[in-house]
Amino acid sequence: MRLLIADDHNLVRDAIAALLLAEGAKEVFAAKNLEEAMHLVRTDGPFDLVLLDYNMPGMSGLAGLRQMIDHNEGQPVALISGTAAPAVAKDAVEAGAAGFVPKTLPSKSIYGAAQIMIGGDVFVPFEFMNREEEAHTVNLSKREHEVLRGICAGQSNKEIARELLIQEVTVKLHVRTLSRKLAARNRTHAAAIARSLNLA
């Protein structure tokens, strides 16, 4: 199988390409943005499968996906992402994507997903789609939502405290509670989870 993976994160792109080759892919082409991917499709395509990172430069939401679908001559095109919400996966499939591959998927599963999509079926992990329901089980207080919005906006604890007229130590306590409720490793991870679950 000949594949094209487009992702602006070099380590992620190279890791996925390496595992696909190790599992049996014949050729894996790589691009760091949509423009580069489109050029490769014109010069070396069509590909048996194109994997596009949802958040890379040039994508403009699902517009980049639709553009690639139009140019890969009927061959499958899918989205990959580490942060996108289940709603994005649903919209992508409705727009014609062959599937949605979370970057958290085990390596062998990514290759299996590629085979499924090349075979003509749609691939979206059941567990991933269930996260939509999980969002409703994360019970946050009004203040926790306000602090979470500040974290997602890139504000420091001091800035959040000033804006909400509370003590910085109180913000720290809220951040600790949020990390526990969201099972987040740190602030950045909490913000990514919040965006993926549409919590902030």
Looking at the fold, whether 9 and 88 belong to one and the same domain comes out as yes
**Which tokens is 152 given?**
């997602």
Q: 25-60, pLDDT tens digit by residue?
A: 999 999 999 999 999 999 998 999 999 999 899 998
Q: Can you tell me the mean pLDDT for 6-18?
A: 91
Which of the listed residues 132, 151, 184 is the one where a domain comes to its end? 132
Looking at the fold, whether 103 and 10 belong to one and the same domain comes out as yes
Q: 125-170, pLDDT tens digit by residue?
A: 766 655 555 554 567 888 998 999 999 999 999 999 999 999 999 9
- pLDDT of 199 > 90? The answer is no
Looking at the fold, whether 149 and 165 belong to one and the same domain comes out as yes
- pLDDT of 121 > 70? The answer is yes
Q: What are phi and psi of 138, to 5 degrees?
A: -85, 100
* Structural domains in the chain (count): 2
Model confidence, pTM: 0.65
Looking at the fold, whether 117 and 184 belong to one and the same domain comes out as no
What pLDDT, on a 0 to 100 scale, did the predictor assign at position 125? Answer: 78
Looking at the fold, whether 104 and 48 belong to one and the same domain comes out as yes
DSSP assignment of the chain, as one string? -EEEEE-S-HHHHHHHHHHHHHHT-SEEEEESSHHHHHHHHHHH---SEEEEETTSTT-TTTHHHHHHHHHTTT--EEEEESS--HHHHHHHHHTT-SBEEETTS-HHHHHHHHHHHHTT--B--HHHHTHHHHGGG----HHHHHHHHHHHTT--HHHHHHHHTS-HHHHHHHHHHHHHHHT-SSHHHHHHHHHHTT--
Indicate the range of 16-30, 60-74, 185-199 predicted with least confidence: 185-199
Q: Domain range spanning residue 168? A: 138-196
